[in-house]
Amino acid sequence: GQQLNQSPQSMFIQEGEDVSMNCTSSSIFNTWLWYKQDPGEGPVLLIALYKAGELTSNGRLTAQFGITRKDSFLNISASIPSDVGIYFCAGRHMDSNYQLIWGAGTKLIIKP
């Protein structure tokens, strides 16, 4: 099925560093969602975006809905050990009122 292109696939970072990841699509979305998933747990919603150009923060996390409506970005500032996990983007196509298209995830690993 259709998938979003999420990059990078994984990131090795030092504690305290800033992190950036993004998702792109060939089609227009009306909603972008960012989730974090820890091993053995369900995804946890971090940020929901509904308007092109929207920039929303949640603590050290900031996400943006791209103005073309075909991409979204997530930034994490001053990473800490508990940021480790897999981050997923998900988008709702303009023609759907419920179904989400998912990225393959970005695995964040903090170097010891």
Partner 1 sequence: DTGVSQDPRHKITKRGQNVTFRCDPISEHNRLYWYRQTLGQGPEFLTYFQNEAQLEKSRLLSDRFSAERPKGSFSTLEIQRTEQGDSAMYLCASSPQSGTGRYEQYFGPGTRLTVT
**Least distance in Å: CB of 95 to partner 1?**
13
Ranges of H-type helices in the chain: none
**Least distance in Å: CB of 24 to partner 1?**
15
Rounded Cα distance between 112 and 98, Å, is 41
At 83, is the secondary structure helix, strand, or coil?
helix
Task: For residue 4, give Cα distances in angstroms to 22, 29, 82.
Answer: 10, 11, 26
Q: Which residues bind partner 1 (CB under 8 A)?
A: 3, 31, 33, 35, 40-45, 48, 50, 88, 90, 92, 97-100, 102-105
Closer to partner 1 by Cβ: residue 60 or 93: 93
**Least distance in Å: CB of 47 to partner 1?**
9
Closer to partner 1 by Cβ: residue 78 or 99: 99
Give yes or no for a contact between 50 and 70, defined as CB atoms under 8 angstroms apart: no
Closer to partner 1 by Cβ: residue 17 or 56: 56
